[in-house]
Amino acid sequence: MKRCYFEPLTRARVIHRVLTRAGEIAYPRSMTMAEPAVPTVALAAVYGGLLLIALALTAIDAREHRLPNRIVIPTAIGVVVLCVVDAIWRRDTETLTRALLGGGVLMGGYFLLYRGPAVRVEAGGMSASGMGAGDVKLAFPLGVVLAWHGWVPLMIATVSAFLLAGATVAVSLVRGRAHAKSLIAFGPFMLMGAVLGVASTHETIAATIVGV
């Protein structure tokens, strides 16, 4: 008859097994191997701050037809710093590269409009006087934030900005609140387009927008 020998459970071994099991429950292996997620509180704080900045810029541009450097440039720097921190936190340089590239592409596109013959939105169409330089500078941080989410939100935001501006021009003409040479501040439409672009990344909000 074979004898069965059981390993004595000392206090140290019991504590070790309990802690090991607790760790497995709290942090499953699949979780420890996954990419660290961005804390929801941090995202909420960042977007809350960006929304306040967007509201301030919208009010200034609508009233004075300018986007002050003292707001736009620090915002651009802050957005880039946040993206770098995110890349370090999640060990994800691909998203950082896409975000910076998106900012450069959007800014480059607006710069071409700024230097091109048909750029500033007027009630009668497009003016040859040139889009404001503030719009060009604002395009960079907006492009970074949008491309951080992906290329589709960037495209949605860009198209939405021009569609919203065109719709506003049409309504203003019909209601007699503008004439053929009235200038329309484009910054607010860029910012509204950016909000729609970011919102499109959230399933619930996107479904509401498209009426699903």
pLDDT tens, residue by residue, 177-193: 666 566 778 899 999 99
Cβ burial of 90 (10 Å; 0-12, 13-18, 19+) is middle
- Listed in sequence order, the residues at least 6 apart from 190 whose beta carbon sits closer than 8 Å to its beta carbon are 135, 138, 139, 142, 157, 161
Q: What is the pLDDT of residues 72-111, one digit of tens each?
A: 999 999 999 999 998 888 888 999 999 999 999 999 999 9
CB 168, CB 58: distance < 8 Å: no
What is the rounded CA–CA span in Å between residue 170 and residue 189?
14
Decide: helix, strand or coil at residue 85: helix
Percentage of the residues of the chain whose pLDDT score is greater than 90: 42
Residue 145: the pLDDT is: 94
CB 206, CB 55: distance < 8 Å: no
Residue 108: the pLDDT is: 94
What is the rounded CA–CA span in Å between residue 201 and residue 189?
19
Element (H, E) at 118: none
> What does the mean pLDDT of the chain come to?
77
**Which of 78, 47, 80, 82 is closest to 191 using CA atoms?**
47
Residue 36: the pLDDT is: 56
CA atoms within a 13 Å half-sphere pointing along the CA-CB vector of 91: 4
* pLDDT level of residue 25 (50, 70, 90 thresholds): very low
Whole-prediction pTM value?
0.72
Range with top average pLDDT, 22-36, 57-71, 126-140: 57-71
Asked whether the predicted pLDDT for residue 33 surpasses 90, the reply is no
